Chain A
Amino acid sequence: MDIEDLVEIAEKERASRKKHVIRCCLAAGCMASDSKGVKEALDKAVQEAGLQDQVEVRGVGCMKLCCQGPLVQVDTHESGATVQVGDDNQGPLYLKVTPESAPSLIATLTGGQTSLQRGNPKAPFFTEQAPIVLANSGIVDPERIESYIAAEGYQALHDVLREMTPKEVVDTMIASGLRGRGGAGYPTGLKWATVAKTPSQQKYIICNGDEGDPGAFMDRSVLESDPHCVLEGMAIAAYAVGANQGFIYVRAEYPLAISRLQTAIKQAKKLGLLGSGIFESPFTFNIDLRIGAGAFVCGEETALMASVEGLRGSPRPRPPFPAESGLWSWPTLINNVETFANVAPIMRKGAEWFASIGTEKCKGTKVFALAGKITNTGLIEVPMGTPLRKIVEVLGGGAPDGGRIKAVQTGGPSGGCIAAEELDTPVDYDSLAKLGSIMGSGGMIVMDEATQMVDVARFFMEFCMDESCGKCVPCRTGTVQMHSLLKKILAREATARDLQKLEELCDMVRHTSLCGLGQTAPNPILSTLRFFRNEYTALLKDDVHNGRNKNHPAPEPAPAPAAGPATGS
Chain B
Amino acid sequence: MAAKTLTIDGKHVSVDESATILDAAVDAGIYIPTLCHLDGVYDVGACRLCLVEVAGSSKLLPACTTKVSEGMEIQTDTERLRQYRRITLEQLFAERNHVCSVCVANGHCELQTLAYRQGMDHVRYDYRFPQWEVDSTHSLFGLDHNRCILCTRCVRVCWHIEGAGTLNVSGRGAQARIITDLNQPWGTSDTCTKCGKCVMACPTGALFYKGATVGEMERDRTKLEFIVTAREKKQWIAD
The answer on direct contact between A and B (beta carbons under 8 Å) is yes
How many of B's residues come within 8 Å of A, CB to CB? 35
CB distance from B126 to the nearest CB of A (A): 6
Are B60 and A469 in touch, CB under 8 angstroms? no
Residues of A within 8 A of B94 (CB): 477, 481
Are B169 and A511 in touch, CB under 8 angstroms? no
Contacts A477-B91, A477-B92, A501-B124 given: A512-B51 contact, CB under 8 Å? yes
Chain A minimum-CB-distance residue to B170:
A312
CB distance from A32 to the nearest CB of B (A): 28
Instruction: Check if A317 is an interface residue, CB within 8 A of chain B.
Output: yes
Instruction: Check if A160 is an interface residue, CB within 8 A of chain B.
Output: no
Q: Of B149, B172, B174, which contacts A297 at CB under 8 A? A: B172
Are A466 and B173 in touch, CB under 8 angstroms? yes
Contacts A470-B169, A473-B92, A474-B48 given: A480-B128 contact, CB under 8 Å? yes
Residues of A within 8 A of B124 (CB): 501
Instruction: Check if A375 is an interface residue, CB within 8 A of chain B.
Output: no
Contact with B along A458-494 (1 / 0, CB 8 A): 0000000111111111101111110010000000000
Instruction: Check if A83 is an interface residue, CB within 8 A of chain B.
Output: no
Are B176 and A504 in touch, CB under 8 angstroms? no
Instruction: Check if A67 is an interface residue, CB within 8 A of chain B.
Output: no
Instruction: Check if B31 is an interface residue, CB within 8 A of chain A.
Output: no
Are A508 and B84 in touch, CB under 8 angstroms? yes
Instruction: Check if A316 is an interface residue, CB within 8 A of chain B.
Output: yes
Residues of A within 8 A of B97 (CB): none
Residues of A within 8 A of B48 (CB): 472-474, 512-514
Instruction: Check if B34 is an interface residue, CB within 8 A of chain A.
Output: no
Q: Of A314, A470, A473, which contacts B91 at CB under 8 A? A: A473
Instruction: Check if A499 is an interface residue, CB within 8 A of chain B.
Output: no
Interface centre among B51, B128, B176, by most A CB within 10 Å?
Answer: B176
Contact with B along A504-519 (1 / 0, CB 8 A): 1100100111100000
Contact with A along B160-187 (1 / 0, CB 8 A): 0000000011011111100000000000
Are A476 and B47 in touch, CB under 8 angstroms? no
Residues of B within 8 A of A508 (CB): 83-84, 87-88
Q: In the complex, A567→B21 CA distance in Å? A: 54
CB distance from B181 to the nearest CB of A (A): 15
Contacts A481-B126, A511-B84, A512-B60 given: A471-B175 contact, CB under 8 Å? no
Q: Of B47, B126, B169, which contacts A472 at CB under 8 A? A: B47
Residues of A within 8 A of B128 (CB): 480, 484
Residues of A within 8 A of B65 (CB): 316-317
Are B150 and A470 in touch, CB under 8 angstroms? yes
CB distance from B220 to the nearest CB of A (A): 39
Instruction: Check if B125 is an interface residue, CB within 8 A of chain A.
Output: yes
Contacts A476-B173, A481-B91 given: A317-B84 contact, CB under 8 Å? no
Residues of A within 8 A of B174 (CB): 465, 468, 470, 476-477, 480
Q: Which of B51-81 touch A at CB < 8 Å?
A: 51, 59-60, 62, 65-67
CB distance from B76 to the nearest CB of A (A): 14
Q: In the complex, A472→B65 CA distance in Å? A: 14
Q: In the complex, A567→B68 CA distance in Å? A: 59
Instruction: Check if B19 is an interface residue, CB within 8 A of chain A.
Output: no
Are A512 and B172 in touch, CB under 8 angstroms? no
CB distance from A546 to the nearest CB of B (A): 13
Chain A minimum-CB-distance residue to B64:
A317
Residues of B within 8 A of A297 (CB): 172
Q: In the complex, A476→B84 CA distance in Å? A: 15
Q: Of B83, B125, B152, B176, which contacts A481 at CB under 8 A? A: B125
Chain A minimum-CB-distance residue to B62:
A317
Are A316 and B45 in touch, CB under 8 angstroms? yes
Residues of B within 8 A of A133 (CB): none
Are B91 and A474 in touch, CB under 8 angstroms? yes
Instruction: Check if A295 is an interface residue, CB within 8 A of chain B.
Output: yes
13 residue pairs of the A-B complex, CB under 8 angstroms, read: A316-B65, A319-B67, A466-B173, A468-B174, A469-B173, A471-B150, A472-B45, A473-B92, A476-B174, A477-B94, A477-B95, A480-B128, A484-B128
- B-contacting residues of A (Cβ < 8 Å)? 295, 297, 312, 314, 316-317, 319, 465-474, 476-481, 484, 501, 504-505, 508, 511-514
